[in-house]
Amino acid sequence: MNIVVLNETDASEARVALMPDSVKKLIAAKASVTIESGAGLGAARTDDQYSEVGAAIAHDRNQLLSSADVLVCVSRPAEEDFRAMKKGAVVLGFLRPLDEPAKLTPALEHGLTTFSMELVPRITRAQAMDALSSMATVAGYKAVLLGADHIPRMFPLLMTAAGTVPPARVLVLGAGVAGLQAIATARRLGAVVEAYDVRAAAGEQVRSLGGTFLEVDLGGIQTEDKGGYAVELSEEALQRGRNLIAEHAKAADVIITTAQVPGRRAPLLMDEAAVAGMKRGSIVIDLSGATGGNVRGSRPDETFERDGVQIIAPTNLPATVPVHASQLYSRNVTAFLNLLIKDGELHLDMNDDVVGPSCVTHEGSWMNQRVVEALKAIT
């Protein structure tokens, strides 16, 4: 069973799907691993480091594609890459099956078995494979550093002979995995942190990290589903949240927004008036840019200024911390691959409660109901 890792094709992508320590584990599980020359360099891993743990290094991308039993990637491969693979081969990575399902049609038509890290169920058994949480952790951390780097003031409270410097104020919207990491990081830097989320359970977590949880009366409506995820709110409930946020935005130096509703457009949490009410020199970092944004007018991967406030919506912060983002991702995909390997051979058990739900295409069929619905929605 030949597991292949290629150079990622997106110029801004510095992560690599497998780091050498994971390659070592896969080889111990009797798989063979071939790395395209230079694939690890963005994450500070050389060809020699891969060779030392037993990987083969190759230069011919097409030959690598055609010889792969399993292609492990960070981002979805291009259509021509799918077509260069052999029928029945496996592709594993962030394939964006819910927001861009049609881009996987070539993989379906070509008879590939595709597994998407976005679909790995968040059950206890699959915690080690939860790449969404790993990347959200990195993004939440890095967003705070971006904010701290941008604002014209320091984060911590300082008492000096020249007077007292008050701490920066950070407002975090959405206290899931990314938001909680942002709160923890901002607190470590000494900021005063407030956070808002529609899930009541988030309150305790925010407070345990030293943040203040902002509460609003949403009229006793249900805000989360059975799985603990936020549900889409009515416009009236959203507006109540927006009013509270606009009030607290006035004092904030950095606002980090992370709110998401699985499978839906990101909820709008700040309109133009809320941004206009902020102090000059402050910054809004919208981490939901890829799904429509939490801030009206934020544009994915663009920075602009409105009323003296910078608004940025970086869509791939994990790639800016490539060593640790790759390390976490690599461990997540390796844990998943271990479910597919038996005695060094590929063994696909679609009845497995992690493998089955993570599969997008197999033997020419769409395998996931949510993906089928996403496809229907665009046709």
Catalytic residues: 122, 127, 130, 133, 229
> Total residues contacting ligand NAD (rule CB under 6 A)?
31
Q: With contacts defined by CB under 6 A, name the span among 53-61, 191-199, 353-361, 367-375 that binds ligand NAD.
A: 191-199
The answer to whether 285 contacts ligand NAD (rule: CB under 6 A) is: no
Burial class from Cβ neighbours inside 10 Å (0-12, 13-18, 19+) for residue 125 reads exposed
Distance CA 275, CA 282 (A): 10
Residue 308 Cβ vs ligand NAD, minimum distance, rounded to whole Å: 25
Residue 276 Cβ vs ligand NAD, minimum distance, rounded to whole Å: 20
- Lookup result for tokens 């992508």: 13
The answer to whether 125 contacts ligand NAD (rule: CB under 6 A) is: no
- Residue 327's alpha-carbon distances to 57, 117, 131, 321, in angstroms, are 20, 15, 11, 10
Q: With contacts defined by CB under 6 A, name the span among 97-105, 109-117, 258-266, 329-337 that binds ligand NAD.
A: 258-266
Instruction: List % helix, strand, coil for the chain (3-state, nearest 5).
Output: 40, 20, 40
Q: With contacts defined by CB under 6 A, name the span among 5-13, 163-171, 173-181, 342-350 that binds ligand NAD.
A: 173-181
169, β-bridge pairs: 192
The answer to whether 174 contacts ligand NAD (rule: CB under 6 A) is: yes
Distance CA 67, CA 71 (A): 10
Distance CA 148, CA 129 (A): 31
Identify residues 131-170 at the interface with ligand NAD (CB under 6 A).
Answer: 132-133, 136
Kind of pairing between the strands at 365-366 and 158-160: unpaired
The neighbour count for residue 240, using CB atoms within 10 Å, is: 15
Identify residues 203-242 at the interface with ligand NAD (CB under 6 A).
Answer: 228-230, 233, 238, 241
Residue 41 Cβ vs ligand NAD, minimum distance, rounded to whole Å: 30
Judged by CB under 6 A, which of 196, 329, 336, 366 binds ligand NAD?
Answer: 196
Binding site for ligand NAD (CB under 6 A): 122, 127, 130, 132-133, 136, 173-179, 196-199, 202, 228-230, 233, 238, 241, 258-262, 267, 269
